[in-house]
Every structure is written in structure tokens, then in C-alpha cells.
A and B are shown apart, each in its own frame.
Chain A
């Protein structure tokens, strides 16, 4: 068997498969290696939200490009990825939040995003089940949405294979071969070596370990997040409701009827532990009922945990590393599913043509990590 490839991708989440798809589409011979199964990492554990309401130019523009890609994904990949413009509502329960959201909306609008600050009663008209107690208003973007991570990855993976690429699951990369500062290939736990002058680290929460295989110490840390999903009820077009209060949370009704959601713990929990806690189930269900009291009568179906891959400033690192030919697309900081399609396309174009669609220095390797993304 010929084990030479134009590019080797490590990781079969949304980032690895989207990047692989666009590279294979441009004619490259792609090999994607996944240590477990496709979507086994964060991607299959995310809560399916896709939004464009960010606070920095590159993130807003990437997210807006991603929404365009989600809109056309059915045609592009031949798979219905359940994309729906169900929107995102960021809820403001105090003046400081009102101010912050309004400031962000100004920036977002500069890039042409259809976002506005609406009153609590306007929000209530859009979401009759919403509890508006103490709600001052919401930042509302109707073109934000949701999609199925499983179907998105399925579509990209099929695309890679249709374009002549290979995907091997249950193949863990254990070493990256570097000679004279140039990447040469990878070795797997099964002892197989695959050769390529281009390797992309798309290992999500494992990105740091994978980087170290080539001596690259990425500033990323896994951070544990739990999630749950309820039984289904008839779809009522409820947007992602984001409540950033100390005991808030965020959840959306899937087009398939279930409510899916999570919250960011007050004290961050580092690591990749996948176990579920009773505490989360208790808290999340309480928080969801607080925002949509009618959920009181809906059963919880299951819960799980996954990890975000965090950078110090909450923006990803998408770039070539100091090792020539070794790229990374990591540190998605909780937004990898929504940014994934666009980042895959951008990195593929950069690898093929050497250009970015716009100034991507916010995502550069080796940048100085400044302020945190305000809507992280």
C-alpha cells in the first residue's frame, strides 16, 4: 500500500472533516486519522448552536461565512444537515449587559449582520413561552441557527471519500515525524507510518498532546462542559436562549423537537473527564425551567459531558506552526461547530493558495493573547 499523501489530518471532528473536505475538493490526496470514531470528541457532544454575534472582526466574519456555508450545505454535501435559522437571543437582565450587547451590536452591524436589541415584550412576542421576569431586553439575531453535528460530519466525511480521500478510524496518531524543521508524516499506535509534507492538528481537546509530538507547545487547555437533552415536543421555533447570569445557561429547541443545552460552570473545570454529574442535571433543569417554565412538564432524555478546547483569549488558533508543513486548527473555545465549516474552507485555501480571505491575525499562531472575546 502506498502510504504517501498530500496532507494528513489528525482528528475526525467538524474541524478535521471540514478541512479535509475542502482540501480533497481542491484535488489533494487526503488522509484523515481518528483515534476513536468520527464525532467522538467535542463535536458529537456540542449543543448544535450556530451564531454570528461575536465581538471581534475576524470571528464575526468567520461566523457569517459559516452561516452561508450551512445554508448551502444540503446542496454542497447532498446531506440534509438540519440547518435552521432559529436565531439566538442573548438576554440582558441588568444595565451592564444592555450596554455591552448594544456596543457589540454596533460592531456586528458594521459587517452587515442583521442584529438588533429588542425589548422584553418584543422577545415575548417571538417566544411566548419565555419568562420575562427582570428581563430588560435581548440581542436578537434571526439569521443565527442550528444544525446537526452528526450530519455535518457525515456529509464532509462522505465528501472526502467521494473526492478520493481516505478516512481511517480507531487509528491514534502517537508521533509526528519532523526532520530539519519540516514535517514528514505521522506514526500511529498500530505502528504504521504515513508520509506527507503537510500535517494538520485538528485534535480538539487533545490538541496540546498532539502538538507536543512535534515539539510545538500550543497554549490550549481542555475545559469540561456538561450538557443534556430532553424528550421532544412539537417544534415551536424557539431560538437559542442565552442567559449569562451567574445561574443562567443556554439551550435551544432542536428542529427535531428536543431541547438541548448547557451552562458554563462558575468555576472552570479543567480536563477531559466525560462523566456526568447529578449536580449538573439538577441545576440545568432548574435553570431551563426558570427561563421557559413550560419545560417543567418535559422529561430529560439523557446527559453527557465533553470538553471545550480553550485558548487564553477565547479565539481559535488557525495557522501554520514553526514546524514547516505542520498546521493547526485548534482552540475553538466552545465555538468550533459554528466556525468549523468556514475555518475548514479558509485553512484549505491558505494551504493551497497561501492566502486568507481577510485579516486573520486574530487567529495567528504565536499572537499575544490579549482581551477575551466579549461574547464568549
Chain B
């Protein structure tokens, strides 16, 4: 199920390698995650759940849901969507938890030193927000370290093959994948980006616990910018855990980053921008999209995206939802149903569709654990995606020197994520190196750009959210 031809993307695959999964040899390419390689080999069931032993595939593909955990080279509970396949690796599927393996040699735990690294600005997350923060803070002389838990930098951008809207300043007409590369190319020697390096804890006085080369390392920073993005929402319906039910972002990752098709035919739930764009991308990659369901009476996505899909003959069914998924050990189909004005299912309107993939695109939730550990004041603002840290115009949270940017601060878009990251980076470097006319001018420009971006009718929800946030600041 590897994609060989694609209208936009060219997949440059690495060296061919082989590893073993449950005793069977698996062909893979260097640079591919274990989960992706297994998918390409047609293996969708990666584990069985702890309590009921139900089959589980992967859902998020970016390390947030834990449904892809397998035993890898004796190490239990490895999230295989985040670990690259290696020659001769031994991978075992888990039923429930993995096994406590034997360790080869006993280390000297009496004298074990934990490495400490100092930096001026620590940035968590190498998505558009984090990278922009690094770009601008480093430009004005700050030493930055960017920690990214996934194997690639760019965050959600690396999977976005469509062209962006907006003004030139916001990278309009550029494809998401290229924006990411642009940001990375712009980084100077003041920035160090570490991939496969999750930040797992925040401690007082800006100490971060990170896992580097599978070991704990301590980072001491003067400023911390948290740009951890968001995780996809789940929808509750019977059998929503069957292998073959994915988040839209996961499908994108599989398809656009790894060049692997998630399935042959699919049902998309949610007709917001993401749902509609991903459905179109699936179509481009050769997947048969049966329908896009939307519970609301109207389509949330921009008109252009929706029309593109319709022109290809894909129905977008408003006032429809999924009632259940079915299948023996994997998705074989779904029952869909029409809704009335009160969101109630209309009896008799149920019908089955035969699909091997169900894709959920029902919203995102900011990833906020680090703010809670840091003791940031939080506020629940539905317009901005739910619970978020309270912050000022300079993106600083209630904890001095701790910043937020991007989807972690409000579910918006890459353009605003980049501006917010830029603002956080500028404010942090200003506080470190002193106020300069140049930085002040930059900050004003960013503020104006954000206002401009949020000015139109599509920005209304965000503006309402921002107003609530301002209230919360008082």
C-alpha cells in the first residue's frame, strides 16, 4: 500500500531495511517509523488493549494517544509511531502492557550523573510556532534549543500539501510542507534543534526534564516557550477503537509524510477545513472517499476546499453522523444516520457503508500539560479550543518567562501560530538582551499582522475568544 505516484509529492525513500515483527520479516525504508512500515506491510493491529484485549491500531501518529505501543528490542510500551525502524529491530505486539525485559549489564547506579544543559531560550515543539520563535529570538542573538518529540521538524506543516491562503506575509500560495522547510532553512547557528527529544516535565526555575537518546537530561533555561500544538479529538461511538479508525492528522502523516495509504475506501467524519482538505488529499492519493459527514446543518470548511471535493463527486452529507463502526478485528464498515434539528437521530435513516477506514476530523484540543506543571493560570475558552493558559499580547503566561504560542494557545492556523511564535521569541529575546528599536518595531508589526489576520468574518470566533481571554487576564 505504498504510494508510488502522487500529483504533488515525491517520496524519496531511504535505504531498504528489514526488521522482525512477531517473528515475521518486515520490509521497511530507513527514515520510516515502525508503525508506518507495519502499515505498508498490511499490519494494522499493533496491540491489544489492557482490560478487554481489544485490537488496537494507531490513531494519532504523533505520539499523543498511546494506542500504537509495542515491545521494541526488549523495551516495553514503545510508541511505534514515533520511533524509526532500524535494520534487525525486534518488534513484538503487546497484549496490554509490555514485558519487563532483562537488561544486559548492571550499571553503576551509585555514581550516575544526569547531564545538565544550559541555554538561554528553551523551545518545546518544532512546529511553525516553535520554529518561528527560534527564528526571531536567534536573529537578535539569543541562544535557543528546540525540542521536538517526533522524528521530523515542522509539526503539522510537514503533511500539508495544499496551498495556504492569506497575504504574502503569511506565506499565501505556498504549500505547508514548503513553509516548514523555509523556516528550518532560515535558522542560524544560535539554534539547535533536537528531534526525537520529548520534554516530559517542567520544574520550578525553568528546569525542563527531557528524554534525549532514551535518557533523562535536564535543561536549564532563562526563558521557556511552549509550542506543543494540539491533539485530535475523539468521537464516541461503538467500536471507535477498531484498527482503521484514525484521526485526520494521522491519515495525513501516513499518506503525505510516509507515502503510505491508510486504506482503500474511507469515510470522513467532520466537514471543517481539516476534514475536507484531508478528504481531498486522500482522493489525490488514490483512496475512494465514500462521503464526508457533518453533524451541523452547514459545512465549516472554506468554500473553495468544499467545492473542490464536490466537483470530484464526493458527497458532503450535513446533518449526518456515524452511529457505529463494525468489523471483525478491523474496520469493515460504518452505520451512518441522519440527525434532526435537535441533534437527535432520525429513526429509519440508518444505512451501512462499506469502508476499511474511518477518519475523524472533529476538532483539536490544545496540548497543555506543561503549563499545568508550571503552575500557569488556566482558563476554559471554548472559542480557542478549550482549556488554555492565560497570556498577554506578548504571549507570556502568568508564570514569568514562560511563553505559549500556536495551537497550544488557541486552535487557529499555521499563519497565526507563526506570528504568535514570532511574538514570543521577540519578547523573550527583548527581556534577555534589552529593548531595542528594531525589536519594538518587529513586535508592533507582528501585533498588527495578527489583528489583520483575525479581522475577517472567519476570525470572528477567535476575536470572541481573545476578548474572553482579556477578561480572564483581569
In the complex, which residues of chain A have a beta carbon less than 8 angstroms from the beta carbon of B209? 278, 281
In the complex, which residues of chain B have a beta carbon less than 8 angstroms from the beta carbon of A236? 100
Q: How far is the CB of B242 from chain A (nearest CB, A)?
A: 23
Closest B residue to A302 by CB, please name it: B201
Complex Cα gap A131–B76 (Å): 20
Are A293 and B106 in contact, with the CB atoms below 8 A? yes
Residues 283-318 of chain A, each 1 if its beta carbon lies under 8 Å from chain B, else 0: 001110110011111111000000000000000000
Known: A232-B50, A232-B77, A298-B76. A293 touches B100 (CB 8 A): no
In the complex, which residues of chain B have a beta carbon less than 8 angstroms from the beta carbon of A234? 96-100
Complex Cα gap A277–B207 (Å): 10
In the complex, which residues of chain A have a beta carbon less than 8 angstroms from the beta carbon of B97? 231-234, 257
Complex Cα gap A285–B72 (Å): 21
For B98, B99, B103, B109, which residue has the most chain A Cβ atoms within 10 angstroms? Answer: B109
A275 at the binding interface (Cβ < 8 Å): yes
Secondary structure of the A contact surface, majority rule: mixed
Closest B residue to A247 by CB, please name it: B110
In the complex, which residues of chain A have a beta carbon less than 8 angstroms from the beta carbon of B218? 278, 282
Interface size class of A (residues with CB under 8 A): 20 to 34
Are A296 and B99 in contact, with the CB atoms below 8 A? no
Are A298 and B100 in contact, with the CB atoms below 8 A? yes
Name the interface residues of B77-92: CB closer than 8 Å to any CB of A. 77
Closest B residue to A238 by CB, please name it: B100
B109 touches which one: A233, A286, A297 (CB < 8 A)? A286
In the complex, which residues of chain A have a beta carbon less than 8 angstroms from the beta carbon of B110? 247, 290
B114 at the binding interface (Cβ < 8 Å): yes
In the complex, which residues of chain B have a beta carbon less than 8 angstroms from the beta carbon of A296? 103, 107
In the complex, which residues of chain B have a beta carbon less than 8 angstroms from the beta carbon of A257? 50, 96-97
In the complex, which residues of chain A have a beta carbon less than 8 angstroms from the beta carbon of B201? 278, 281
In the complex, which residues of chain A have a beta carbon less than 8 angstroms from the beta carbon of B200? 300
Q: How far is the CB of A139 from chain B (nearest CB, A)?
A: 23
B100 touches which one: A286, A290, A295 (CB < 8 A)? A295
Residues 198-220 of chain B, each 1 if its beta carbon lies under 8 Å from chain A, else 0: 00110110010100000010100
Name the interface residues of B105-122: CB closer than 8 Å to any CB of A. 106-107, 109-110, 112, 114
Are B109 and A289 in contact, with the CB atoms below 8 A? yes
A124 at the binding interface (Cβ < 8 Å): no
Name the interface residues of A165-208: CB closer than 8 Å to any CB of B. none
Known: A233-B98, A234-B96, A234-B97. A278 touches B103 (CB 8 A): no
Are A275 and B76 in contact, with the CB atoms below 8 A? no
Residues 210-235 of chain A, each 1 if its beta carbon lies under 8 Å from chain B, else 0: 00000000000000000000011110
Are B106 and A294 in contact, with the CB atoms below 8 A? no
Complex Cα gap A233–B97 (Å): 5
A129 at the binding interface (Cβ < 8 Å): yes
B101 at the binding interface (Cβ < 8 Å): yes
Closest A residue to B204 by CB, please name it: A275
B382 at the binding interface (Cβ < 8 Å): no
Are B50 and A294 in contact, with the CB atoms below 8 A? no
Are A293 and B103 in contact, with the CB atoms below 8 A? yes
Residues 94-125 of chain A, each 1 if its beta carbon lies under 8 Å from chain B, else 0: 00000000000000000000000000000000
Q: How far is the CB of B91 from chain A (nearest CB, A)?
A: 15
Q: How far is the CB of A228 from chain B (nearest CB, A)?
A: 11
In the complex, which residues of chain B have a beta carbon less than 8 angstroms from the beta carbon of A300? 200
Closest B residue to A230 by CB, please name it: B77
B107 touches which one: A275, A293, A299 (CB < 8 A)? A293
Known: A233-B97, A278-B203. A290 touches B77 (CB 8 A): no
For A129, A247, A277, A286, which residue has the most chain B Cβ atoms within 10 angstroms? Answer: A286
Q: How far is the CB of A318 from chain B (nearest CB, A)?
A: 37
B141 at the binding interface (Cβ < 8 Å): no
A294 touches which one: B103, B204, B207, B216 (CB < 8 A)? B103
In the complex, which residues of chain B have a beta carbon less than 8 angstroms from the beta carbon of A282? 114, 216, 218
Residues 8-19 of chain B, each 1 if its beta carbon lies under 8 Å from chain A, else 0: 000000000000
Q: How far is the CB of A222 from chain B (nearest CB, A)?
A: 21
Complex Cα gap A261–B201 (Å): 18
In the complex, which residues of chain A have a beta carbon less than 8 angstroms from the beta carbon of B114? 282
In the complex, which residues of chain A have a beta carbon less than 8 angstroms from the beta carbon of B344? none
Q: How far is the CB of A49 from chain B (nearest CB, A)?
A: 20
Closest B residue to A291 by CB, please name it: B109
Known: A233-B97, A257-B96, A297-B103. A290 touches B109 (CB 8 A): yes
Complex Cα gap A295–B100 (Å): 7
Complex Cα gap A277–B77 (Å): 25
Complex Cα gap A114–B351 (Å): 64
Q: How far is the CB of A291 from chain B (nearest CB, A)?
A: 9
Name the interface residues of A260-285: CB closer than 8 Å to any CB of B. 275-278, 281-282, 285
Q: How far is the CB of A294 from chain B (nearest CB, A)?
A: 5
B77 touches which one: A131, A247, A281, A299 (CB < 8 A)? A299
B102 at the binding interface (Cβ < 8 Å): yes
Known: A278-B203, A290-B110. A233 touches B99 (CB 8 A): yes
In the complex, which residues of chain B have a beta carbon less than 8 angstroms from the beta carbon of A290? 109-110
In the complex, which residues of chain B have a beta carbon less than 8 angstroms from the beta carbon of A298? 76-77, 100
Complex Cα gap A18–B204 (Å): 37
B194 at the binding interface (Cβ < 8 Å): no
Q: How far is the CB of B459 from chain A (nearest CB, A)?
A: 38
Complex Cα gap A295–B98 (Å): 12
In the complex, which residues of chain B have a beta carbon less than 8 angstroms from the beta carbon of A231? 76-77, 97
Are A233 and B77 in contact, with the CB atoms below 8 A? yes
B74 at the binding interface (Cβ < 8 Å): yes
Name the interface residues of A121-142: CB closer than 8 Å to any CB of B. 129, 131, 133
B370 at the binding interface (Cβ < 8 Å): no
Binding site for A on B (CB under 8 A): 50, 74-77, 96-103, 106-107, 109-110, 112, 114, 200-201, 203-204, 207, 209, 216, 218
The 6 closest A-B pairs by CB, nearest first: A290-B109, A232-B97, A278-B203, A233-B100, A297-B75, A257-B97
Binding site for B on A (CB under 8 A): 129, 131, 133, 231-234, 236, 247, 257, 275-278, 281-282, 285-287, 289-290, 293-300
A-B residue pairs in contact (CB < 8 Å), sample of 22: A131-B106, A231-B77, A232-B50, A232-B96, A232-B97, A234-B96, A234-B97, A234-B98, A236-B100, A247-B110, A278-B207, A278-B209, A281-B209, A282-B114, A282-B218, A286-B109, A287-B109, A294-B101, A294-B102, A295-B100, A297-B100, A297-B101
Q: A129-B100, A298-B100 are in contact. List 17 more A-B contacts (CB 8 A).
A: A233-B98, A234-B96, A234-B100, A257-B50, A275-B204, A278-B201, A281-B209, A282-B114, A282-B218, A287-B109, A289-B107, A293-B103, A294-B102, A297-B100, A297-B101, A298-B76, A298-B77
